[in-house]
Structure 1
């Protein structure tokens, strides 16, 4: 417990009606009188609390996002930075800044390691079209129908 927290605890232990003198308590716990008074009156809070309040996601939400990213990575679908930003924006229910992902990765740098995937081969990329898939499966269906036989050896499509 820090000295400022101990001083605040001492103030809370005062009985109702007992005289509160910030100067005496501040001197006893070796803290600044103004800081003690402001914290006690709720005018300011610690930097740690301010940092937690300004975060877009609660630490539990960040951990859940981390598990989701790791699960996607294990499945071979490593999310990009814009994807992580969109996921977090949906959780936070507001648009997050461009650098939010960089700060998030810095906080969890041990757990998030980006990997470059190899590009798709040019011939495979050119072959990847709806028309070509449709043509292939139509040809396949025709051949299966042409040579389809039941258990007795009769051609099913010709009867």
Structure 2
């Protein structure tokens, strides 16, 4: 127990009719008398309490955010760092700065880890053209009409998307346990075909 807290606990445990001096208690516990008096009279707070109050999220809210990140990872959708920032802002009900995310990751480094993704791979970059997208959607519309497929029965199985014109690296937040098991390494490449190499079957 913190010496100041121990001193305060001793004062609180004394019978109401028993006299004491702050000097005596402070000397016994090796603390500064004036600090003990301020803390006892609740003029100041313990550093740990003050630090918690200065956090953008409460400990329970941070646990909620960690749980959300873990759920996204279980879906093979590790969130971008800026998405973690946005989600934290939603939980807090106020804007949260980008630098806060770094502190959050440090506080939960046993559970989370941030890694940089690579840029779009060569094949995917070459496929990034208006004409090829038009051919793709023309093909799909034709197949939808041919097999009477309604739009509500179509699903996107590529969790990364084609990132039109975006080739810069980005940072994602992973569940450390899953990352260390190698379960999410393919997500580091935006060109990963983890979900994309399966033949299409029209029902």
Same fold (TM over 0.5): yes
User: 1:1-159 counterparts in 2 under 5 A?
Assistant: 1-110=1-110, 111-116=112-117, 119=120, 121-126=124-129, 127-128=132-133, 132-133=136-137, 135-144=138-147
Runs of at least 5 residues in structure 2 that lack an aligned partner in the other structure:
149-203
Give the match's secondary structure for 2:14. Answer: coil
1:150 corresponding residue in structure 2: none
How has the CA–CA distance of structure 1 residues 80 and 142 changed in structure 2, closer, same or farther, with 3 Å as cutoff? Answer: closer
Deviation of 1:55 after TM superposition, in Å, equals: 1.1
Deviates more, 1:111-120 or 1:52-61: 111-120
Structure 1 counterpart SS, 2:95: coil
Aligned length: 143
**TM-score (normalizing by structure 1):** 0.76
How far residue 20 of structure 1 moved from its aligned partner, in angstroms, is: 4.2
**Structure of larger gyration radius:** 1
Per the TM alignment, residue 74 of structure 1 is displaced from its structure 2 partner at its CA by 3.2
Structure 1 distance, partners of 2:70, 2:118, is: 16
Higher strand share: 2
Q: Name whichever structure is richer in helix by fraction.
A: 1
Q: Structure 2-normalised TM-score?
A: 0.61
Q: Aligned partners of 1:71 and 1:136: how far apart in 2?
A: 34
